[in-house]
Structure 1
Amino acid sequence: MVGVAGKSKGCNTCRARKIACDQQRPACARCTRSNRVCGGYERDRVFVMMQPGAKKKHVYLKSSPSPLESSVESSPRSAEPSTLSPAGRNQARYSLTERAPAYTLLQRQNDSHNLVLSFLANCLPAAWSTAPSRSWITLLASLPTEVKALEVSSAALATAAVGRKFNDPALVQYSHSLYTRGLQQLQRALWNRRLAQDDATLAACMALSLYEAMECPNAGSEGYFGHCQGLLALVEARGIDAHCSGPGHQLFLGVRIPGILYSLENHSSSFLFDAAWMNQPWGQTPKTSFTQVVDCLAQAPGILQRVFLLPSLSPGQQVEACFQLIAECWQIDERLDTIYAVMQDGRSDPLYWPVASNYPSPSTTEHGQNLFPSVFHFADFETAATLILLWAVRVLLWSGLCNLYKGMFPTSSVLPADEPVGPLRALGHRREYIFMAHHVCQSVEYLMQDDFLLAGPLSVTPALGIVIDSLRYQPEHAAVVAWLRAALDLVRQKGLGVLEHSR
């Protein structure tokens, strides 16, 4: 109660943490410095609802608990019936003595929403909600929950993540039943012609996909890849217009990377590389540097598919196809150069710089030597996430270029770096793509900082997977591949269980 002596005037987050608050508005500096969501200064309100003829006339519903409190309130244990007590500012439980449908609906939706708020506050950095390429995950708290599939699916994801965060096996176990219910509700939504086109249904599918990546309930990667396949089918069925603005556009951005990686895994092309899908969704929104790097990655599945078809062509067709593939690879490389130049343009400070590593290496050489005693520090999280993906795409691109050159000139034991190879331009520094792989390795420590929470593993995993797939059949780079695999194991321990079943 504001103005009453002895009552704290701090923000709700600082009060929950039982620390002094500097009371700055709209968000206190203590929360900002620690990358926490400031809960604001509005105190919890209690709504008294009445229903004629009910045995208990009053049901107290606490409105919008702070994210820090809701992780405890929304666990299965807090849903047990409790004795109705007088309303107070610190009322923490709902009474389940009323069974009227309206009360049940309000309580269920409030519990699910509180779980999602707790997930966002405790498992994701606050910067994700304001970044230009902010994650689709932040939509789980703002999309309407009238679509039951979204309500249950987002609750399953939130319960699992919060349970892992606070080492609560009961919450994790509870998330399994929510996940099963979420699958059932999603299937019902997809059978409904109207709901199948709703943004909330796509968000539910994405929440279940992320749940599979984190929890891997069937102890294999098949479930996750099945969700990826379903996401691609759903996005294509919704059409381009559904993804040009608002939540639909943000969800589309979230689908692209898992969809592209799924296509790479299966050596198949995708509608995501069609010119219309590469351009029209950004008619109202400019592309960020990260989005442009994803554009370059999106071309990889189609190129690799054509590479695998080369042996089925006649010698003359193979030569023509190789020239075309090489030309496309050079175009992508020039595009990556432009993206990097624009990122650096106009900045007085560098995008990244070397610092001494603070952590033991995930893997060392057979002589016990740390492969990367020097690592990179970045201007900010978004720069780091963009550059690690850019460098990974370059490993894929440059190693592919070298293989195509060797295919064109199989009798050349060593390709010259600074001289044209026949009618083809010189490879130059692209021959040393291993240094781009080193850049990826040296970025991991920054992105895996505790302050970045789940955002770090989600940003690191695609880059590590791309580089491993590019180098794993090259014995001369075995030490780097071993380091990358050890790094992936650390990422798995941070919350992505599906990596235990990756190649």
Structure 2
Amino acid sequence: MKVRKLTVCHTCRARKLGCDGKRPSCSQCAGTKIKCGGYQYDLVFIPSQLSIGPSTKSKARKDGKVGKKRGDCPELRTSTSTDSSDEAFQEAKPIVKPDAAPVRPSLAWPFQDIISLVVQNFSPTVLSSNSAFMNWDVDIYPRVCGAWIELLPVLSMTRRYEMALSSSVKALAVSILSRGRNGIAPISDALTAHCSALHSLHDSLHHIAHTADSDVLAVAIMCLMISELILPTAISSSAAHAAGLSDLIQLHSPEAYSSGPSHRIFIGLRPAMIIHSIRNKQPTFLASYEWRTIPFQHVKANSFHALMTEATAIPSILVDIDQLKYGSPNANSPYAVFEALKDLLDALVKWNVSFQSLTNKPSFRILGKGPEKAHVWFPDITTANSMTHYWTFWIMCIVYIRKLREDYPELRDKELLISGESPESPIITEVAIQMSTWIFQSIEYLVQDEMRLFGAISAILPTRIAYQFLRYNHFYDQELISWCERVIHGIRDRGYDYIAQYILDDDGV
């Protein structure tokens, strides 16, 4: 049995670092200028009338004979000390309570240390020199992905909603520590912290007057949303948070998010709101012209956000398709929906041409051979996000264009060529299969340790769409489908239960 050492401080234990046990502060904490968590443990003393040694009770064997435990062997008894002082020490020996939660001391860390834990586990790190990237002759710089996470230290100074933000950040921190089978925090602690944060957030949502108030609360909601991507909770939970984010952002005009910290928070939360709108087939306010343009009037959108701007049209198209399917009187005409899909596909193709022209270097490379052994590798996480989501949206357009042309034969007379081929062409099918395979081959890159939580979260929608397409359109290739399912189970084994559940779920997009 592994014995927990009492000479390791709580801070080093939570951070999985070596500790020399010095007091009052260990060398590890002193060197990094972090407040040492100390060595306090809940201790109990065993009363003298209770035995803490091995039981001497005889144990019956299957053959009916009575066996003795090793402690009853004469040669072992002769080696036992008979010193009365040793016996007294054994009777009063303090032991650690077995049910003491190892992570609870971490909740007493200074708040800035908890923020540091969250940032370090969310943001991708610099790639090592032996990475496949270094063969591309590209410059690798450290950067924080998810602009909102950079502002946590600044937002933590806000007193108005201090409790809502701190409880949400702590809930995310405990969820991170509890992730996976080897998590150092009990799931019960993570759920308790999460519920406490929900109550604090609920109490803070009644009086919102300024954009700064919305910024703090939006970041608090985002922390809880990510926490639920780690915890094995219901799929609908994060959708509720996404709806809350949308309502919170709309309390202010688009101009309020065109510069400063509010802009950085907006661009950090925007992809999550768009993806959840696609997932739940709910039109988003972000598709309006004002919200597509005004927040980027001072700071130009990068390639990924330009792609997400085009994707804001997808939820409304999905709603129109469902209304046509169920014969809703408010449904747009099949031709109008078909034209919307055609325009979206054209916009995606133009985006890809523009993105590839930004650099003379390839946007990705395939390392290895064969579906199972090959991996798609990217020069950086932004490129990985951009390409996997481009493939995803392209596949969705092809699937729904085909469906419309199948349900409404008159649309087949409308000329539509994709790379010189009709949407139903086997060549287009092969392209979609190839893109789906690339998405699954990108998982190794996205969920590697260096990509942290941000990389794994980025894989949610692309992996789901790719799996659905292969399962329904390439079902006869059982070897490929089995490989995809092994990749999904590998995601769960890394501690991302929600992501694996989301990919396999049959509801929604």
Aligned partner of residue 459 in structure 2, secondary structure: helix
Change (3 A) 1:345 1:352: same
Distance 1:130 1:250 in 2: 18
Report deviation, 1:123: 4.8
Q: Map 1:196-345 to 2 at 5 A.
A: 197-216=213-232, 219-311=233-325, 321-345=333-357
The alignment status of 1:187 with 2:202, answered yes or no, reads: yes
Change (3 A) 1:313 1:395: same
CA deviation map 1:312-359 (0-9, x unaligned): 6599x98x82222222222222222222222222523211122106xx
Determine if contact 1:376/1:446 at 8 Å carries over to the other structure: yes
- Residue matched to 1:425: 416
Change (3 A) 1:134 1:266: closer
Change (3 A) 1:307 1:465: same
Aligned partner of residue 445 in structure 1, secondary structure: helix
- Equivalent residue letter for 1:274: S
- Residue matched to 1:150: 165
Change (3 A) 1:165 1:422: closer
Aligned partner of residue 309 in structure 1, secondary structure: helix
Q: Which runs of 4+ in 1 moved over 6 A?
A: 64-69, 77-80, 107-110
Distance 2:293 2:403 in 1: 30
- Equivalent residue letter for 2:459: V
Change (3 A) 1:490 1:247: farther
- Residue matched to 1:178: 193
Change (3 A) 1:74 1:326: farther
TM-score (norm 2): 0.67
Distance 2:354 2:144 in 1: 16
Distance 1:424 1:305 in 2: 24
- Equivalent residue letter for 2:390: L
Report deviation, 1:175: 3.4
**What is the identity percentage for the equivalent residue pairs of Structure 1 and Structure 2?**
20
Distance 1:473 1:325 in 2: 23
Determine if contact 1:214/1:496 at 8 Å carries over to the other structure: yes
Aligned length: 394
Aligned partner of residue 251 in structure 2, secondary structure: helix
Using CA pairs below 8 Å that are at least 6 residues apart, which structure has the higher relative contact order?
A: 2
CA deviation map 1:117-173 (0-9, x unaligned): 023224532359964864423332332342211111112212321444894534754
Distance 1:195 1:258 in 2: 23
- Residue matched to 1:389: 389
Q: Map 1:66-145 to 2 at 5 A.
A: 73=36, 111-126=110-125, 131=143, 134-145=146-157
Aligned partner of residue 424 in structure 1, secondary structure: coil
- Residue matched to 1:440: 439
Distance 2:469 2:268 in 1: 24
Change (3 A) 1:66 1:297: farther
- Residue matched to 1:348: 360
Q: 1:161 aligns with which of 159, 176, 179?
A: 176
Q: Decide which structure has the larger Cα Rg and report it.
A: 2
CA deviation map 1:434-480 (0-9, x unaligned): 22212212222222222222222111122112333455444646745
Runs of 5+ consecutive residues of structure 1 not aligned to the other structure: 1-15, 19-59, 81-106, 358-369, 411-419
Report deviation, 1:213: 1.4
CA deviation map 1:281-308 (0-9, x unaligned): 1111111111122122221110011111
Report deviation, 1:114: 0.4
Distance 1:198 1:478 in 2: 49
Distance 1:225 1:74 in 2: 37
Distance 2:108 2:190 in 1: 16
Distance 2:346 2:37 in 1: 51
Aligned partner of residue 193 in structure 1, secondary structure: coil
Runs of 5+ consecutive residues of structure 2 not aligned to the other structure: 1-15, 19-23, 43-105, 128-140
Determine if contact 2:246/2:273 at 8 Å carries over to the other structure: yes
TM-score (norm 1): 0.68
- Equivalent residue letter for 1:288: N
Aligned partner of residue 169 in structure 1, secondary structure: coil
